[in-house]
Structure 1
Amino acid sequence: MAMDKTRPGKEIGVMVYKSHTSGIGGRLKHKAEDFLVEEITPDGLILKAGISLGLDLGQPAEQIHLTLEKSNISTLRAVKELSNALRVSQKRIGYAGTKDKRAVSTQRISVWGVGADDVMRVNLGGIRIRDPQYCDDRINLGDLQANRFTVRIRDVGLSSGEIESRVKAIDGELVSGYPNFFGVQRFGSKRPITHLVGREIVKGNLREAVLIYLTSCFPGEGESLADVRKRLRDTGDMRRAVREYPRHLEYEHSLINHLIREEGDWGGALMQLPYGLRKMFVHAYQSYIFNLALSYYIREGFIVERLPLVGYKSGVDEVTSMILEDEGVGPGDFRVSSLPGLGSAGVLRDAFVYYRDFVLLGVGVDDYYPSKSMVELRFILPKGCYATVLLEEFMKS
C-alpha cells in the first residue's frame, strides 16, 4: 500500500507517494542557485553552468544555436526578452523544452535569421548567452536527451546519519522507477489553475474559464491582489478591474481589455493569450487526469506501464474512464470545438520512469538555517520528467 500524501499536491491530482520510508523534510528553492538544471543535448553533452563549450562558429547559416543560461526567470520570459532585444518575433526562437523559473538553468536555443554579432551584444538581466554556432536546423521541442539536476535541500532537521539512512532507503524503494506524475510547474507554481481553466475550456464553459484565470486567489500573491481578484469575481466590473490590476499582470490585462471592447466575447478574450499558454490549459487538464489515475493505481497496488493523456482519439483504461465520468467529460470533448487549434488527439505516457547517476553529494550546515542541515543531491532525469516529483519522494514535506 502506498503512502498517502498529506500536503497540497492533491490539488493537482498527486495523491500518494510510492515509497514508504519517512522523508528527510526540508525546503526547496530557497534561492535560485539551490536548483541547478543543466540540459543534456541529443548527443549526450552536458551544458555545464558557467562553462563554455568552445564551439567553432562555422559559416553563416539560417539558424544560429546558442547556450542560454538563465537565473530566476522562466524560459518563456527569457525568450520574450531575447526576441525584444533582437527585434525579432518569438516564433523565430526555438528551444527543446522549458526549464524551472526559480533555478539556474542551461539549454541550447536557436534563432532564425540573425548574426552572431547581434546575439552576442545582447545584455539582459538574469540571462547569459554563449557558444554561438551557425546551423541549418531549428531546435524544436523534445530535441534533448535528458536534464541533470543538482539540488540543495535546506532546513533539514535530522542528523547526518539519519539523512543518509533515509535517502539510501528511499533510493532503494524507487529502484523499479518513480511515479511519472506531472509536477506543480505544469499547473502553475504560484497559481495552480491551468488545469481548472482547461477543464472549463474542454467543457465549453468559456466564461468560467476566463473568470477562473482572472479571479482565482492564492496566498502567495498577497492580500491586496486577492481583494482585486475577488472584487472582479463579485462585480464583473471590467473597467474597474483594468484600473486596479497591477500592470505587470500583462495576460490579465489582455483579457480584461478585450472584454471591455467586446463585452461577453469570452472565447475572443482567451484568444488574446499566447498560443502556447492556451494550449497549456488543455494539456494541464490532461495531466491532472493522468495524475489522478496513476495515484489510484499506486494506492491500490496495481501495476501499470502506461496511461493515456486523454484526447479525442484515446483509448482509455477503466480507471481513467471512471475519472472522466466523475469530471463530466468524454474523450470527444478534447476536440475543443469552441476554440480553434486547442484540440488534442491524446497520447500514452509512461507511468513510471527511471532516474540515473543519483548521488548524495553531501550533508552540511545550512548557512540560512544554522541549526539545521543542508543536503545536496545530483541526478539525471529523462526529458519531460519533473525533478520536484522525485524530490518529494525523498522529502515528503
Structure 2
Amino acid sequence: MAVRFHNHQRLYKRRKSEIDAAIARVIASGRFDWGDEVPAFEAEFAAWLGAAHAVCVNSGTAALKVALLALDIGPGDEVITVGNTDIASSSSIHHTGARPVWVEIDPVSKCMDVDALRAAITPRTRAILPVDLYGHPADMKAIMAIAREHNLVVVEDACLSLGATIDGQKIGTFADITCFSFAPSKHLGSFGSGGAAVTENADLAEKMRKLSAYGQERARHYTMHGPGGMGGLHHETHGLNERLDEMQAAILRAKLPDLDNMLADRRAQAARYSEGLAGTGINLPQTLPGYGHAWRNYVIEADDRDGLANRLAQRGIATNLTYAPPMHLQPVFADYGISIGSFPVTERAAVRLLGLPIGPQLAMEEIDEVISAIRAVA
C-alpha cells in the first residue's frame, strides 16, 4: 500500500456539501473582495480559540510580517527566534528591517530553549518570536515572563500548532500576537493560502487590519466597494496588500466546524504511531507535561535518517525532511557568518529528524502500513 503525505481530495470529501455551498454563496454574492465572509470567519475563528480579535491575511508569513510591523519592529532591532523551522519566521523579521537572532532549542520539544533565550537578550532586542514546532507549543509562560521582565514583545509562530494547549488553555492567547497559517496542508487548510494574526489588544488588531489593507480603515474599503461606488482615499499608514480573500474565508468557515474532529484524528494517529513503533530503537516524539500537542507533524529521530527514508520510499511510504538544514546554515543568511557547530542541538536534530504521514486525510490502516514498513526496514 502506497501512503501519500497529502490527499486533498479526501479532505474535500469530508465537507464537500458545506464547501460547495460556501463557494456557491460567494459566487452568487458577486463580492469577491470586501464582502461578509472575512469578518465572519475572523469572529468565528477567534471564538474557537477563545481569543478577542483575529485579523485574517493571505498567509502565515504575512501574519508574522504584519504582526511585527504592528509592534513597530524595524531597522536596528533584534528579534530572537529559532532556526529549525521554515524560513518564514526569519524572513518576516528580515523584511521589517530587523535582524533575526537564532538561539538553541530544547532537545525534547524542539522549541526555543528559554535559558538560551535569556542569554541572547541585548540592548538591541525588541521582540521574541518563538515557534511551536510540529504542533508542540513553546514554553510560552516562561517566554512571556522573560519578555515582561525585559519590556519585550512576543509574536508566537503558531502556524504548526493550531489546537495545541498549555495547561488546558489553547494557543492563541499567550503572546502579544499569535500567528496561524491556513495553507492547504495545515490543520485548517484553505484551497490556496491564508493566515491569521490573533491578539487580545483591540488597538493592535485595528493596526494590523490597516497594515494588511493599504493602510486604510476596513470600513472605508467596504464603502468604496459597496453599491455607492468609489469614494476617496485616506491612507493612515504605509500599508500592504496582505488580505485574505472572500472565497478562502468562506471555505475556511465551512471547514472550521470539523476542526475538532480533524485534531482528534491527528492525536489518535500519533498515539497509534507511538504504540506501534515502541521498541524499534527509533527515537519517538515526546510531549512535555502540561502540554497538548496538535500533531501537525509526527517526527521521528534516526541515526540513519536518509537510509531509512530511502528504504521506506521503496515500499511506497512518503516521508519528509523537516526544516533541514536550519536557517543559520542556509545560503541566504551566509553573510551572518554563523558556522556549523554553533547550535549543536539544532544541527543534530536537523540530520536525524524524519516526518511520517499524519492527518485526517489518512485512514488508520495507512498509519498501520507505515508502522509495519518501519518495523520491517528500521
Q: Shorter-chain TM-score: which interval?
A: under 0.3
TM-score of the aligned structures, taking structure 1 as reference length = 0.23
Bigger strand share: 1
Bigger helix share: 2
TM-score of the aligned structures, taking structure 2 as reference length = 0.24
Which structure has the greater CA radius of gyration?
1
